[in-house]
Amino acid sequence: MKPARIAGAVTAFAAASLPVLLPSAALADPAGDLRKDISLVRSFCSPFTQKVTGLNGETVQEGSGSVCVSKEKSSFRVETKTPDENLVVSDGKSVWSYDPFMQQVTIASFSEIAGSSPLGLIASDSPEVWKKYSVKRVSGGYELSTAEGGDRFELFVGGGSIAGFEIVSRDGRKNSYKLGAAGPLAAGTAFSFEIPKGTEVDDRRGK
């Protein structure tokens, strides 16, 4: 059996700093500010560039692709083109992570992924998910962490648009994506996945 491989595009994106000027009263509630900023984000499609850095800051991998989010459907679609093709797509209930080279798809419940993915937070503003996070301001955005001390997110959002995301693992490695200019959802953007014939399926929903 081939080893399961879940695409890292769901869990990370990074961005250049955005200037943020807010009155001191607003700084007292960074979680509230972040949720307000996210509530202004509309459905969109955007190109992205990716960079993975190691413990010493060295570049381990670079890539590119596109991301689409539908707020109305609580859904997202991430297509990585380079260095390897893969697809992560959610309809708001399930999340499919497809590796065409390995001919393998992993399926998970959206409710499980939403708590470990910046895109899950943006696509669905679930109070149950937000209760798990401690939020503070960082340069140009927000940092999210949990009491369990796992990976932390940095999310760069403001003015109704997303500049990018970053995830920092416990050992200091970073997987970051920077988003380009956002546009409207293209007609026919698919937020579901039809499993190709011959694909190995690892269905983790309900496990």
Give 193's DSSP letter. -
Amino acid at the residue 32: G
Average pLDDT of the chain to the nearest whole number: 82
Q: Interior CA angle at 130 toward 165 and 205, to 5°?
A: 85
Residue 207, pLDDT score: 65
Per residue in 25-58, pLDDT (tens digit) is 444 689 888 888 888 888 899 999 999 999 888 9
β-bridge partners, 46: 67
Is it the case that residue 14 has pLDDT exceeding 50?
Answer: no
> pTM for this one?
0.79
pLDDT digits (tens, 9 = 90+) for 182-199: 999 888 889 999 999 999
- 70-82 burial, b at 16+ Cβ within 10 Å, e below that, comes to bbebbbbbbbbee
Amino acid identity, position 151: D
Q: What is the pLDDT of residues 50-68, one digit of tens each?
A: 999 998 889 999 999 999 9
